[in-house]
Amino acid sequence: MTDYSTGLAKTEANYQPLTPIQFIARTATVYPNKTSIIYDDLVQSPITYTWAQTYNRCRNLAHGLKKLGINKDDTVAIMAPNTPAMVEAAFGVPMSQAVLCTLNTRLDIGALTFCLQHSEAKVLILDSEFAEHVDLIEETFPHLILIHATDRAFAETKPFGKMSYEQLIEFGGFDSEQAKADFDRSIYPSDEWDAIALNYTSGTTGKPKGVVYHHRGATLNALSNILDWDMPKFNTYLWTLPLFHCNGWCFPWTVAERAGINVCLRQIDANLILKLIAKYNITHYCAAPVVHNMIAAGDEALKQAITHTVNGFVAGAPPSEAMLEKMEAMSFNITHVYGLTEVYGPVTICAEHDEWQQLSVAERASKKSRQGTTSHLMTGFEVLKQGTNEPVAADGTEMGELALKGNMVMKGYLKNPKATEEAFAGGWFRTGDLGVKDADGYIKIMDRLKDIIISGGENISSIEIENILYGLPQVNSCGVVAASNEKWGEVPVAFIEIAEGATLTRDQVIEHCRQNLAKFKVPKHVIFCEIPKTSTGKIQKFELRNAAQSMANEEPKVKH
Amino acid sequence: MTDYSTGLAKTEANYQPLTPIQFIARTATVYPNKTSIIYDDLVQSPITYTWAQTYNRCRNLAHGLKKLGINKDDTVAIMAPNTPAMVEAAFGVPMSQAVLCTLNTRLDIGALTFCLQHSEAKVLILDSEFAEHVDLIEETFPHLILIHATDRAFAETKPFGKMSYEQLIEFGGFDSEQAKADFDRSIYPSDEWDAIALNYTSGTTGKPKGVVYHHRGATLNALSNILDWDMPKFNTYLWTLPLFHCNGWCFPWTVAERAGINVCLRQIDANLILKLIAKYNITHYCAAPVVHNMIAAGDEALKQAITHTVNGFVAGAPPSEAMLEKMEAMSFNITHVYGLTEVYGPVTICAEHDEWQQLSVAERASKKSRQGTTSHLMTGFEVLKQGTNEPVAADGTEMGELALKGNMVMKGYLKNPKATEEAFAGGWFRTGDLGVKDADGYIKIMDRLKDIIISGGENISSIEIENILYGLPQVNSCGVVAASNEKWGEVPVAFIEIAEGATLTRDQVIEHCRQNLAKFKVPKHVIFCEIPKTSTGKIQKFELRNAAQSMANEEPKVKH
């Protein structure tokens, strides 16, 4: 103890737990009449709210949940597309001290059942679009309180559950301004380490794991988004990224802090997106590469109609140089960020440098497709020699495992102390991605640990081959995986989805690869098909691997 | 304990203490070649550093201090104008785990001795400009390690102390890159509640109190500055605000986070400021009203030469409407913020609204001169009925005491648990300022508790009268205080400093007040003199009050 630590304890006056709830409370107070949410399908008239209204609705949601018996650390699940209810849940659920579990809308009933069971959800808010699941859910979880989030787009859906979402908002209303003010004192967490959200991993390698976020991390991630992007107040944010994915990379909290506008949309459609960008002067959006590709392939006239600066974050998979080139041609300002469910979404950024403007488009795209450096409020991003805490050389060659540390790393896995301990072994969260560090300190993924192809004793990066394939304009999307092979150990197999209206032959692909890749990296099989993707646009490599196994030990179609 | 709090403890991987040291570490890594500091007197050639260099120098400073025997929670003091050393100290001192005490450069030797004694400073870095104090300091503090911060502007100053500041930077150098990297692991605090800085109050009402800041508060305040101002990366910040004052309102940390440029200057001179603004495209600066008034009164041609947008924060005293009008005429974008030493500088902001653009300049200035609402990362700003936790009505009329709470409130007063406890009584830090809350929720100071004038049983706000006096273009600065009076209890007395070259008579002043104020508020005495100000531009009302007492019980010169 020194004089600087004596008689200087935390008090209510000088310490408050960090929480994104503070963001909406301040914005609703200072900018009550600014627009908070616009929900527009360009068919019916848009639904809009102000920040005062949104805050009121979130407060009512929290109060309604409490009246339904929800307590601190109960799980409240929601399964909905990017509707206003999803934005409100990001505040209303934690304001009731409960933990928000946003469910992937593409879950099949098996995975959905697993998540509801594992999270012990007490409430499920279910959008009309997923009404097909109601019977089985009610049968499997007789004590689950089901809330029906209705929508004009599904006016014919038969009401289900205990009440509708709008009825819950009404049910949570207050008798007096005093009661409201009293409730407002209860909406903050008692500890910033308290859980705010639960997000299930996609479970490509086994059962999904429940990733727990806390208020401190959510706050800092939301702020880091602002710093990364120099995001000014009153921006207009388009919800192209699923809100169920890492709580929309914390952007509901970011947009509230900035007193910005959430433009919600139910479905991902290139021309709808382009129209909304023009109509609302969208300044910012996030999406996986597949969505950016969709936008880039949208209607030319709609693209021309956009004359203001649009900023996009791309993550979920390394963006191809071809995609970055196309977006640049549209004058969109695209930044590559990188993260995982375990770190609240992106926590690294490929921050650009002035001198990159002197490079060719292709060279610049190559720089920009790297995973880069830490986000502004993240502490550590390193490439560690496997199984050690020792960084690889910054030579762009030595491979190691990407590792992260800092306040934007999850609290841990729910009910899985063993997995949590393993994930944090040595004081780093190890990502399972393999990469190198360039001389400028920027980090680049070479592959997922499990996606690396080892052929004839040589490491082949599946991503390197994919990037070459994307150089063919006819390639809409592609995935390269290993197939076992008696002679070579493994060989690369390319799956290619051809762009609509285009034609491409196997020989053209092989020839293109031969011109751009070392011989041993040229795919040994080329399969044209629709590429299976997760709801977030990630290519489902395990499915490709299964398909590739059928080719195992076939004589390679192309000689070394 | 629930599932959300079991097996989910803080680890090195997912928890790092918040600290502004992180800002410079990241910026030096990501933007090593961006300019960090420019020190320019427009006479000699400017001295400039890059962020890599500044980080290196800060690391050396920390290492040098450790080699001198400095340990965690030792106090390292510095007394210097806004030179590069002051920016470096904001990082280098806490990187050694010591606590930075920046001393007011206008302290007389008595106050200086008090601060060195009370803080138990182990090291004092003293700029050549204050060499006159050396003999007495060495005599009074034989164990204090004195470091001489030399400067080209004082080349003739005889060397003093153990070594020069540049020698200390050299002394703190490293033998190898590995030694540097090892040291880098020791520069972070073990707890974000650890002290980072010690700032003495001006002590207008007794002995100065030592206000302790911690890493968490410094971090959040630095971030809040960015959010308040929508401050983009790579801004250019002019050091018109003393760096010794609340650590320059945390802006050394803010500028480092933004990878911006600190433009340092030794003296506050209107034309020097205007020239630097033009030369370096200064985007942001902070200052007390007195400095803004100086700038507004600067050379016309120099003002015309500034064609880009300049953003200014004004605080330290409520800005007069006249000053805000003048700055608006120069197209400077001025925002009023408010705070005290106890809250790291400003923590409230008079955030502007679009609809204010429709108002007349005077009406808008009246809106803008309010203290407003919480800064982005501050929690509570209220007007409380005196001695209670009950807010006044938001009617613009009911007066109460301004109170603050949140993460940007000090850790407490050093070695003064009683004062700390009193300051935080009831869970609020009570400011001693009196004010009202307008219907839009914005708060306006009416007066310091001790500055209110009670005449004939009526409360008179000295600030209200001062604002009226500032409406006279001949008034350079002014202060209104109470003088005791047998008949009225107290009467207002106006002290006026006339602008250079202007003339103004007592009768003109009285006539102007009669036209703009209720009769009982018209000053009973008008005294023309130079107004005594603190080093931060605050008018020293206690001196005015002493002067006013000489007029006590004189027959008022003006009848009610």
Q: Shortest Cα distance from A102 to chain B (angstroms)?
A: 16
- ipTM of the complex model: 0.88
Residue of chain A whose Cα is closest to the Cα of B406: A14
Stretch A64-81: mean pLDDT: 98
A516 against B221, higher pLDDT: B221
* Residue in B116, B126, B121 with CA at minimum distance from that of residue B149: B126
pLDDT of residue A361: 84
Sign of the torsion angle spanned by Cα atoms A233, B262, B71, B111: negative
Q: Shortest Cα distance from A91 to chain B (angstroms)?
A: 17
Of B13, B257, B410, the CB nearest to A409: B13
Chain B positions touching A257 (Cβ under 8 A) are 227, 376
- Give how far the C-alpha of residue B366 lies from the chain's centroid of Cα atoms, to the nearest Å: 23
Residue at token pair 């139910």:
A266
What is the domain partition of chain B in residue ranges? Answer: 45-214+243-255, 453-549
- CATH number for domain B453-549, candidates 3.30.300.30, 1.10.287.110, 3.30.465.10, 3.40.50.300: 3.30.300.30
pTM of the shown model: 0.88
User: Domain A452-549 classified CATH 2.40.160.20?
Assistant: no
**Tokens matching residue A47:** 């639904």
Residue of chain A whose Cα is closest to the Cα of B232: A230
Q: Name residue A366's amino acid.
A: S
Of A22, A407, A414, the CB nearest to B3: A414
Q: Shortest Cα distance from B497 to chain A (angstroms)?
A: 37
Q: How much is the CA Rg of chain A, to the nearest whole Å?
A: 24
pLDDT of residue A446: 84
User: pLDDT tens for residues B384-400?
Assistant: 998 899 999 999 999 99
Stretch A249-267: mean pLDDT: 97
Contact B424 A351 (CB under 8 A): no
Contact A4 B212 (CB under 8 A): yes
Chain A positions touching B416 (Cβ under 8 A) are 7
**Tokens matching residue A547:** 């398909």
CB-count exposure of residue A486 (10 Å: 0-12, 13-18, 19+): exposed
CATH architecture of B45-214+243-255: 3-Layer(aba) Sandwich (3.40)
Q: Name residue B538's amino acid.
A: K
CA B548 – CA B493 distance, rounded (Å): 7
pLDDT of residue B555: 53
Residue of chain A whose Cα is closest to the Cα of B212: A4
Q: Shortest Cα distance from B529 to chain A (angstroms)?
A: 41
* Residue in A490, A477, A552, A475 with CA at minimum distance from that of residue A520: A490
Q: Name residue B443's amino acid.
A: I
User: pLDDT tens for residues A192-215?
Assistant: 999 999 999 875 556 789 999 999
The mean pLDDT of chain B is 92
DSSP conformation class of B160:
-
Chain B positions touching A99 (Cβ under 8 A) are 4
CATH code of the domain occupying A21-267: 3.40.50.12780
pLDDT of residue A558: 45
CA B270 – CA B500 distance, rounded (Å): 14
Candidates A1, A8, A14, partner chain B, best to mutate (most B CBs within 10 A) = A14
A448 against B4, higher pLDDT: B4
Q: Which of A328-337, B89-98, B446-455 has the highest mean pLDDT?
A: B89-98
Q: Shortest Cα distance from B30 to chain A (angstroms)?
A: 7
Chain A positions touching B406 (Cβ under 8 A) are 14, 16
Three-state secondary structure readout of B398-444: CCEEEEEECCCCCCEECCCHHHHHHHCHHHCEEEEEEEEECCCCCEE
Contact B227 A406 (CB under 8 A): no
- State the CB neighbour count (10 A cutoff) for residue B356: 13
- State the CB neighbour count (10 A cutoff) for residue B459: 13
Contact B99 A428 (CB under 8 A): no
Stretch B493-519: mean pLDDT: 92
Q: Name residue B75's amino acid.
A: T
Stretch A224-242: mean pLDDT: 97
Contact A14 B405 (CB under 8 A): yes
pLDDT of residue B447: 77
pLDDT of residue A560: 37
Sign of the torsion angle spanned by Cα atoms A140, A145, A149, A155: positive
Residue B149 phi/psi, 5-degree rounding, is -85, 100
DSSP conformation class of A398:
-
Angle, helices A321-329 vs A361-368, to 10°: value is 120
Of A5, A14, A120, the CB nearest to B410: A14
Q: Shortest Cα distance from B187 to chain A (angstroms)?
A: 13
Q: How many Cβ pairs within 8 Å bridge chains A and B? A: 153
pLDDT of residue A559: 38
The mean pLDDT of chain A is 92
Q: Kindly give the pairing relationship between strand B75-79 and strand B163-164.
A: unpaired
pLDDT of residue B556: 47
% pLDDT > 90, chain B:
76
Chain B positions touching A177 (Cβ under 8 A) are none
Stretch B220-246: mean pLDDT: 97
| CB proximity list for A236: less than 8 A, separation 6 or greater | A260, A261, A263, A280, A281, A282, A283, A284
* Residue in B253, B248, B213, B533 with CA at minimum distance from that of residue B342: B213
CA B259 – CA B244 distance, rounded (Å): 21
Torsion of CA B237, B239, B242, B243, to 10 degrees: 60
Residue at token pair 């629709």:
A530
- How many separate helices (H) and strands (E) can be counted in chain B? 19, 26
Residue at token pair 């309102």:
B249
A384-389: long-range contacts (C-beta < 8 A, 24 or more apart)? A384/A428, A384/A430, A388/A426, A389/A426, A389/A427, A389/A428
Of B2, B14, B415, the CB nearest to A424: B14
Contact A7 B420 (CB under 8 A): yes
Residue A454 has pLDDT above 90, yes or no: no
* Residue in A364, A433, A360 with CA at minimum distance from that of residue A401: A433
Of B29, B376, B405, the CB nearest to A373: B29
User: pLDDT tens for residues B427-453?
Assistant: 999 998 889 999 999 999 887 777 778
Q: Shortest Cα distance from B222 to chain A (angstroms)?
A: 12
Of B7, B226, B379, the CB nearest to A420: B7
Contact B14 A217 (CB under 8 A): yes
Of B13, B226, B417, the CB nearest to A429: B13
User: pLDDT tens for residues B321-362?
Assistant: 788 888 988 989 999 999 999 999 999 999 999 999 999 888
Chain A positions touching B14 (Cβ under 8 A) are 217, 405-407, 409-412, 424, 429
* Residue in A269, A161, A218, A268 with CA at minimum distance from that of residue A22: A218
CA A217 – CA B255 distance, rounded (Å): 23
Phi-psi domain of A230 (left: phi exceeds 0; alpha: psi -120 through 50; beta: other) = left
**Tokens matching residue B209:** 């109190």
**Tokens matching residue A508:** 């053209």
Residue at token pair 């408010």:
B338
Of B16, B193, B374, the CB nearest to A407: B16
Order of all β-strands in the sheet with B412-413: B163-164, B145-149, B123-127, B75-79, B99-102, B195-200, B210-214, B412-413
pLDDT of residue A553: 52
Q: Contact at 8 Å (CB) between A188 and A19? A: yes
* Residue in A162, A209, A240 with CA at minimum distance from that of residue A410: A209
Chain A positions touching B195 (Cβ under 8 A) are 4-5, 8
Chain B positions touching A73 (Cβ under 8 A) are 2-5
Residue B208 has pLDDT above 70, yes or no: yes
Residue B203 has pLDDT above 60, yes or no: no
CA A16 – CA A10 distance, rounded (Å): 9
Residue B541 has pLDDT above 90, yes or no: no
User: How far apart, in Å, are the Cα atoms of A305 and each of A279, A300, A301, A302?
Assistant: 9, 9, 6, 5
Q: Contact at 8 Å (CB) between B319 and B289? A: yes
Q: Shortest Cα distance from B224 to chain A (angstroms)?
A: 10
pLDDT of residue B540: 82
Contact B8 A194 (CB under 8 A): no
pLDDT of residue B558: 45
User: How far apart, in Å, are the Cα atoms of B518 and each of A242, A376, A466?
Assistant: 61, 54, 79
Chain A positions touching B441 (Cβ under 8 A) are 29-30
pLDDT of residue A102: 98
Residue A536 has pLDDT above 70, yes or no: no
CA A100 – CA A247 distance, rounded (Å): 9
Name residue A405's beta-bridge partners: A380
Chain B positions touching A217 (Cβ under 8 A) are 14
Residue ranges with strand state E in B324-399: 333-340, 345-349, 373-374, 380-384
Of A7, A416, A427, the CB nearest to B13: A427
Q: How much is the CA Rg of chain B, to the nearest whole Å?
A: 24
Of A13, A30, A429, the CB nearest to B405: A13
Alpha helices in B172-269 (DSSP H): 177-184, 215-229, 246-249, 251-257
CA B110 – CA B536 distance, rounded (Å): 19
Stretch A266-293: mean pLDDT: 94
Contact B195 A4 (CB under 8 A): yes
User: pLDDT tens for residues A59-69?
Assistant: 999 999 999 99
**Tokens matching residue B499:** 């602008």
Residue of chain B whose Cα is closest to the Cα of A256: B376
Residue A556 has pLDDT above 60, yes or no: no
